[in-house]
Structure 1
Amino acid sequence: MRGQVLGVDVRTGEGLVAGQDGQRYRFTSEDWAHRGEPVIGAEVDFETADDRALSVFPLPSAVAPGPRRAGPAVPSARAAAASDRNKYVAALIAFLIGTLGIHRFYLGRTGSGIVMLVLSITLIGLAVTVPWAFIDMIRYLMMSDEEFATRYPRG
């Protein structure tokens, strides 16, 4: 059967495939029959047994060239282009006027942006929002482009 990888937890090695029959099938790292790691969104061919996907092979068009790095599941290249926001702009906003939470609004995090805006009215609140904005700035700069695009998708 053919299908598409929906998700993978690299810590446990378990993944989920959506089959062409509309059913979802679980698989483990032992079921992945290819070098490297499964990629979310990859088209695969597999055998089924109850709710399990066995001998999961990526289709030739879905195999990404080059080695995959270890760590959390890496989104496909399509996900990297799925953000209309820029991490450097977000970091600059956080540095310049971050205590007002404007960078949070920019990234689509309206709730926490409102909280920061309300907190920044008082001196005690500023003691919270200044380090909060600084930490956000550092996080954005340290985040990979793929992770940033995944966390803050096109809004």
Structure 2
Amino acid sequence: MRGQVLGVDRTSGEGQISGEDGQRYCFRPGDWSDERGPAVGARIDFATEGNRALRIFRLPESDTAPVAYRQPPANDRNKYVAALLAFFLGTLGIHRFYLGRNGTGVLMIVISITIVGLIFTGLWAFIDTVRYLVMSDAEFAHRYARTYPA
């Protein structure tokens, strides 16, 4: 079937196609058989399976530019900085604020008011230090990545 690309999400690569039959079909980046990828307004040829477009090829007369995919923002937090903050200022929960865990950061400050609480938060911070250093970079980035509102 032939159709036209209606829209493409720049972050996920998913989009919609309007087929010549008047129906709309969804696609994912893996559905493209053409190395140039999707572009809004591109004329295409595709196979269907339900409401999904598969094996999508751009037609030769379609000369629109492909959509550039935007990678999600890289994690701007560093596990070594977090470990150093936990080791040196951990009883005050500074490392928790750095990682965006403000609730537990405030809790650590409140608990640190007493001597017993200071010992407890010191142990907590030491465990956090070791945990950050042992954690893989990928897991750290996944756990502590900032989420940006759309």
| TM-score after normalising by structure 2 | 0.53
In the alignment of these two chains, the number of paired residues is: 106
Matched, 1:116 2:108: yes
Letter of the structure 1 residue corresponding to residue 135 of structure 2: M
CA distance in 2, matches of 1:102, 1:111: 11
CA distance in 1, matches of 2:110, 2:25: 47
Unaligned stretches of 5+ residues in structure 2: 1-7, 18-23, 33-47, 55-70
Matched, 1:106 2:98: yes
The answer for the alignment partner of 1:88 in structure 2 is 80
CA distance in 2, matches of 1:23, 1:142: 45
* Secondary structure, aligned partner of 1:83: coil
Q: CA deviation at 1:23?
A: 9.4
The answer for the alignment partner of 2:40 in structure 1 is none
CA distance in 2, matches of 1:48, 1:127: 62
The answer for the alignment partner of 2:30 in structure 1 is 44
Deviations 1:113-141 (A, max 9, x none): 00001101111212321111011111111
Larger Rg: 2
The answer for the alignment partner of 1:143 in structure 2 is 135
Q: CA deviation at 1:20?
A: 4.1
* Secondary structure, aligned partner of 2:31: strand
The answer for the alignment partner of 2:123 in structure 1 is 131
Q: CA deviation at 1:49?
A: 6.3
CA distance in 2, matches of 1:23, 1:108: 40
Letter of the structure 1 residue corresponding to residue 77 of structure 2: R
Q: Are residues 125 and 45 of structure 1, via their aligned partners in 2, closer, same or farther at CA, if it must alter by over 3 Å?
A: same
Letter of the structure 2 residue corresponding to residue 144 of structure 1: S
Q: Are residues 23 and 111 of structure 1, via their aligned partners in 2, closer, same or farther at CA, if it must alter by over 3 Å?
A: farther
Q: CA deviation at 1:144?
A: 1.4
* Identity score, percent: 55
Letter of the structure 2 residue corresponding to residue 151 of structure 1: R
**What pairs up with 1:8-47 in 2 under 5 angstroms?**
20=16, 43-45=29-31
CA distance in 2, matches of 1:98, 1:146: 23
The answer for the alignment partner of 1:153 in structure 2 is 145
The Cα RMSD (Å) is 3.7
Unaligned stretches of 5+ residues in structure 1: 7-17, 25-41, 56-77
* Secondary structure, aligned partner of 1:44: helix
Q: Are residues 151 and 48 of structure 1, via their aligned partners in 2, closer, same or farther at CA, if it must alter by over 3 Å?
A: farther
Q: CA deviation at 1:19?
A: 6.9
Q: Are residues 23 and 92 of structure 1, via their aligned partners in 2, closer, same or farther at CA, if it must alter by over 3 Å?
A: farther
* Secondary structure, aligned partner of 1:108: coil
